[in-house]
Amino acid sequence: MRYVIMIQIVSIITLILLGSSAMFSWLQNRSFQESLELDNTSFLSN
């Protein structure tokens, strides 16, 4: 019975870490693409 609880705790922590790392990488890629779009528009306006 104890092993089932430990497996659940470890799997929940793993899912939280995977989800947060996926969200962090998505935010970094999104900000990089937005900065590229801003650079492209500044080139067009000059």
pTM for the complete prediction?
0.62
From residue 22, give the alpha-carbon distance in Å to each of 12, 15, 25, 28, 34.
15, 10, 5, 10, 18
pLDDT tens for each residue of 17-44 = 999 999 999 998 887 766 777 666 656 5
From residue 25, give the alpha-carbon distance in Å to each of 5, 20, 36, 38.
30, 9, 17, 20
